């Protein structure tokens, strides 16, 4: 379970305090899939970084009783100047998993071929998405934090992610920030609609999407 209680993150913007996330509370149980919906700048990515422990909340509490992935986003999580293989080695080491197994999985899933021996900074966005996703699946978490990244891949990648995450690992939790209504409808059972840092929880996805479209 993950529980967020009155979580706020404030930054200084032009000398004034800006609350990117403002008093958000919710709970995600094991196996549950929560969508984060909101316009750009509504606070979705900040909330995901807070849940991943990358940044610390200014106030409020985040509790977790399951293992939570790092935020799978278009940026962050890798050392750009190191090769894919070196990044795999580093991550396998810190998560205490055998390098050979992780590498075999990533090779199979990400289909990056010889690019694994090239620096990650030269990867295209789609390649990066596949790489990040493959690595986090190989490490195996109870809950995945996904910030838009599935949409960055091609059809084949989206189909394979679907298989891996929603069929083989249907018992896992997920927090998915996305603008894609179809994806949210088919995967998520609840939604947190975010607007100017505030969050409203909906049990009805269709209603949540309608509210978002009217914002």
Partner 1 sequence: MRDFWKDLDTQRRVVGALLVREIYTRFGREGLGFGWILLEPLIFAIPVLLVWSVVRNPYEHGVPLIPFLWSGYLPLLLFRHVGARMLLFVRVNAGLLYHRQVTIFDVFVARSLLEVISNLSAVAASFALFYGLGWVDLPYNLPMFYLGYFFTIWWSLAVGLIIGGLSERTEWVEKLWQPYSYLYIFFSGFFVMATWLPEGIRRWALLQPSLQAYEMIRAGMLGNYVKTYYDPAYTSLVLAVLTLIGLLLMRESRKYVVAE
CA separation, residue 123 to residues 42, 84, 147 (Å): 28, 9, 18
Nearer to partner 1, 93 or 156 (CB): 93
| SS3 at position 57 | coil
Output the smallest distance, CB 187 to partner 1, in A.
23
Nearer to partner 1, 97 or 190 (CB): 97
Output the smallest distance, CB 90 to partner 1, in A.
5
Nearer to partner 1, 91 or 152 (CB): 91
Long-range contacts, stretch 180-188, CB < 8 angstroms, 24+ apart: 180/151, 181/209, 183/150, 183/151, 184/35, 184/37, 184/209, 185/209, 187/33, 187/35, 188/33, 188/34, 188/35
Segment near partner 1 (CB under 8 A); pick from 79-87, 161-169, 173-181, 194-202: 79-87
CA separation, residue 86 to residues 138, 175, 191 (Å): 15, 28, 37
Nearer to partner 1, 14 or 182 (CB): 14
Output the smallest distance, CB 99 to partner 1, in A.
11
Output the smallest distance, CB 204 to partner 1, in A.
33
Output the smallest distance, CB 87 to partner 1, in A.
9
Under rule CB under 8 A, residue 78 binds partner 1? yes
Burial level of 99, CB count in 10 A (0-12/13-18/19+)?
middle
Residue ranges in 92-151 that form contacts with partner 1 under rule CB under 8 A: 93-96
Residue ranges in 15-74 that form contacts with partner 1 under rule CB under 8 A: 49, 52-56, 58, 68, 70-71
CA separation, residue 194 to residues 8, 99, 114 (Å): 13, 39, 41
H-helix or E-strand containing 108? helix 99-110
Which residue from 81, 98, 155, 167 is in contact with partner 1, where contact means CB under 8 A?
A: 81
Which residue from 82, 180, 183, 201 is in contact with partner 1, where contact means CB under 8 A?
A: 82
What is the rounded CA–CA span in Å between residue 175 and residue 81?
Answer: 29
Nearer to partner 1, 79 or 189 (CB): 79
Q: Which residues bind partner 1 (CB under 8 A)?
A: 11, 49, 52-56, 58, 68, 70-71, 75-79, 81-82, 86, 89-91, 93-96
């Amino acid at each position: 379970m993950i529980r967020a209680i009155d979580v706020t993150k404030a930054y200084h913007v032009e000398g004034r305090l800006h609350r990117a996330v403002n008093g958000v509370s919710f709970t995600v149980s094991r196996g549950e899939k929560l969508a984060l919906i909101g316009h750009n700048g509504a606070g979705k990515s900040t909330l995901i970084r807070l849940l991943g422990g990358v940044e610390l909340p200014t106030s409020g509490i985040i509790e977790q009783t399951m293992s939570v992935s790092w935020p799978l986003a278009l940026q962050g999580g890798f050392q750009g100047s190191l090769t894919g293989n070196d990044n795999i080695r580093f991550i396998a080491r810190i998560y205490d998993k055998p390098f050979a197994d992780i590498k075999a999985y990533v090779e199979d899933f990400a289909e990056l071929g010889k690019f694994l021996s090239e620096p990650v900074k030269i990867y295209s966005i789609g390649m990066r998405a596949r790489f990040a996703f493959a690595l986090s699946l190989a490490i195996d978490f109870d809950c995945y934090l996904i910030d838009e990244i599935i949409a960055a891949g091609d059809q084949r990648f989206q189909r394979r992610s679907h298989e891996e995450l929603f069929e083989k690992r249907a018992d896992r939790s997920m927090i998915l920030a996305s603008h894609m209504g179809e994806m949210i409808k088919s995967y998520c059972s609840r939604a947190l609609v975010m607007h100017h840092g505030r969050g409203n929880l909906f049990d009805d996805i269709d209603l949540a999407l309608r509210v978002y479209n009217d914002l």
